[in-house]
A and B are shown apart, each in its own frame.
Chain A
């Protein structure tokens, strides 16, 4: 039995590439909470950097670690893995 649906490749592409629907994708766009470091307690060991799945944590110029908000997805692994409990997840509005 032949399929009655006749979607051609070009039709599908047209609907997907509609500029009204399309918008640039940013991995960190749907984040619920952002990690924040308590710089008084942080010893700058770098464990949060090692365990970040998205590679969002980088070392700033002052030696402390920060999260790139374009990449961070707010999973909270750094918050769990920090030995000193320095990282807190702050909810965004």
Chain B
């Protein structure tokens, strides 16, 4: 029946685990998208999880510490597994400051704390996210995954652009995608030869409407030095 052999959802499970009937997420929510993709990767865990009955009789896997749609604090997903724990941080930068948009210290802290698998991911790259959550589940010991979720309400952009903004964050090297396996071996996933200008990422967001050219130039040097620090950690093979 299919004319084309490439059918994208074949790479992901077709079953939906996180689509609540009373989904109160805003239109174009990056957090909802990230949770939906994460739950698909956690298929094996969810089958065994504690289930909670919602108002209309639909079942939810009880995995979150707090409300998954909480806006004020990053939601943490903690999954116990043999020999450790998988912690997934859904970061929507609700603080809204310029420093927060650039610096991401949490993965570095997790590496220093001795986590066996640390990764950054973004729902704009769904298959990358899927693979990383799978690897985090299979890793021996503690694992940490930091997911950047663009928020149209807090960042003030058109909900159409949620996926694009996440992609621009990665392409401008503000939020580089990488993973740290055992023995602190860094590995970049999805590199771009030529970075996108930082203004492309910041300008569509109305929260940075009053940013000056000088500030963008300063931030570009910060981003570049951070990216260089990251690439220096990669050992030549």
Mark A residues whose CB is within 8 Å of B. Answer: 25, 27, 31, 43-47, 49-55, 59, 63, 71, 73-77, 79-81
A73 CA to B27 CA, complexed, in Å: 5
The answer to whether A77 and B4 touch (CB under 8 A), given A25-B22, A27-B24, is no
A53 pairs with B4, CB closer than 8 A: no
Contact of B19 among A54, A74, A80 (CB under 8 A): A54
B162 beta carbon closer than 8 Å to chain A = yes
9 further contact pairs, Cβ within 8 A, besides A63-B2, A80-B163: A27-B21, A31-B27, A46-B8, A53-B28, A54-B25, A55-B36, A59-B9, A75-B162, A79-B160
B8 pairs with A80, CB closer than 8 A: no
When distances are taken between beta carbons in the complex, the residues of chain B under 8 Å from A59 are 9
Contact of B33 among A27, A47, A51 (CB under 8 A): A51
A-B contacts, 29 listed (Cβ < 8 Å): A25-B22, A27-B22, A27-B23, A44-B7, A49-B9, A50-B8, A51-B33, A52-B33, A53-B25, A53-B30, A53-B33, A53-B162, A54-B23, A55-B16, A55-B18, A55-B36, A59-B9, A63-B2, A71-B23, A73-B26, A75-B28, A75-B160, A75-B162, A76-B159, A77-B33, A77-B159, A80-B160, A80-B161, A81-B163
When distances are taken between beta carbons in the complex, the residues of chain A under 8 Å from B28 are 53, 73, 75-77
A54 pairs with B32, CB closer than 8 A: yes
Q: Is the interface of A mostly helix, strand, loop or mixed?
A: loop
B32 pairs with A77, CB closer than 8 A: no
When distances are taken between beta carbons in the complex, the residues of chain A under 8 Å from B162 are 53, 75, 77
A24 CA to B164 CA, complexed, in Å: 33
A77 CA to B22 CA, complexed, in Å: 20
Q: Is the interface of B mostly helix, strand, loop or mixed?
A: loop
Mark B residues whose CB is within 8 Å of A. Answer: 1-4, 6-10, 12, 16, 18-19, 21-30, 32-33, 36, 126, 152, 158-164
Closest to A25 in B: B22
Nearest CB in chain B: distance from A19 CB, A? 16
Nearest CB in chain B: distance from A83 CB, A? 10
B16 pairs with A43, CB closer than 8 A: no
A24 CA to B161 CA, complexed, in Å: 30
When distances are taken between beta carbons in the complex, the residues of chain B under 8 Å from A51 are 33, 126, 163
A90 CA to B79 CA, complexed, in Å: 41
